[in-house]
């Protein structure tokens, strides 16, 4: 079973700042099958990034993903007010357990 660890647990930043979120896997993620999701209170998660670095449809280019193997990063270049949320990484390369990380909360400083 692949275990995903996200850091930091909480990131306190101001609008306009850069956010860097980390996701580390306990073993290599097959074919970089790693996604990032954003979840706001009371809403379903939204897919941001898939295959480690591809933006999903309609996602602004201030969101970018990188990494391979066991280390992955989500970067938000300039935080907008609507970006304050919880972010989850997920690996979908190892059936049947498509594990999620515990999440990173990005809140307003």
Partner 1 sequence: EVQLVQSGAEVKKPGESLKISCKGSGYSFTTYWIGWVRQMPGKGLEWMGIIYPYDSDTRYSPSFQGQVTISVDKSISAAYLQWSSLKASDTAMYYCARPSAGGFSKPLAYWGQGTLVTVSS
| Footprint (CB under 8 A) of partner 1, residues 66-105 | 88, 90, 92-93, 95-103
Q: Kindly tell me which residue out of 22, 28, 46, 73 binds partner 1, with binding defined by CB under 8 A.
A: 46
Residue from 30, 71, 80, 109 in contact with partner 1 (CB under 8 A):
30
Give the tokens for residue 21. 């979120």
The phi, psi pair for 4, rounded to 5°, reads -105, 135
The 10 Å CB-count burial string (b at 16+, else e) for 62-99 is ebbbebeebebbbebeebeeebbbbbbbbbbebeeeeb
Closest distance between partner 1 and the C-beta of residue 33, in Å?
A: 6
Nearer to partner 1, 14 or 95 (CB): 95
Nearest partner of 15 among 75, 79, 76, judged by Cα: 79
Would you tell me which residues interact with partner 1 (CB under 8 A)?
1, 30-31, 33, 35, 37, 39, 44-47, 50-51, 56-57, 88, 90, 92-93, 95-103
């Amino acid at each position: 079973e692949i275990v995903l660890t996200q850091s930091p647990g909480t990131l306190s930043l101001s609008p306009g700042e850069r956010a860097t979120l980390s996701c580390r896997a306990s073993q290599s993620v097959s074919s970089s099958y790693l996604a990032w999701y954003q979840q706001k209170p009371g809403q379903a998660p939204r897919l941001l990034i898939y295959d480690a670095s591809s933006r999903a449809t309609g996602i602004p280019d201030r969101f970018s993903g990188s990494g391979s193997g066991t280390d992955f990063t989500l970067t938000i270049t300039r935080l907008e007010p609507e970006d304050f949320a919880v972010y989850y990484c997920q690996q979908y390369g190892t059936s049947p357990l498509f594990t999620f990380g515990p999440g990173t909360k990005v809140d307003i400083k």
